Amino acid sequence: TQLLEQSPQFLSIQEGENLTVYCNSSSVFSSLQWYRQEPGEGPVLLVTVVTGGEVKKLKRLTFQFGDARKDSSLHITAAQTGDTGLYLCAGAIVGTYKYIFGTGTRLKVLA
């Protein structure tokens, strides 16, 4: 069974704090995506990482793809209330057409 485990599942922090969300699997991914979802809406793509060891920055968000392409992390610096939402990692398993999703991290940033 191919799984993509995210941690933590829930996170409640104060505005201005930093946080990191992790996404781990025993599978190797040809690419991995991070999405953010608001209630009642579809997930919106934040970033795609493809190369092992790759680091991408999107304003206050930093995404890292593990060297072995089995794990990834999302780091948010100085969180804002607008960062509140459900964060999902997902990826295409190498050598297959399968695309699997992480369990999700629900982030709440308090003012």
Partner 1 sequence: KAGVTQTPRYLIKTRGQQVTLSCSPISGHRSVSWYQQTPGQGLQFLFEYFSETQRNKGNFPGRFSGRQFSNSRSEMNVSTLELGDSALYLCASRPGQGGGETQYFGPGTRLLVL
Residues of the shown chain interacting with partner 1 in the complex, contacts defined by CB under 8 A: 30-31, 33, 35, 40-45, 48, 50, 88, 90, 92, 96-101, 103-104
Helix, strand, coil tally for the chain in percent (to 5): 5, 55, 40
b (16+ CB within 10 A) / e for 5-19 = ebeeeebebeeeeeb
Task: Name which of 13 and 101 has its Cβ closer to partner 1.
Answer: 101
- The three-class DSSP label of residue 12 is strand
Smallest gap from residue 75 Cβ to partner 1 (A): 21
Task: Name which of 47 and 109 has its Cβ closer to partner 1.
Answer: 47
Smallest gap from residue 8 Cβ to partner 1 (A): 15
- The three-class DSSP label of residue 107 is strand
Task: Name which of 43 and 66 has its Cβ closer to partner 1.
Answer: 43
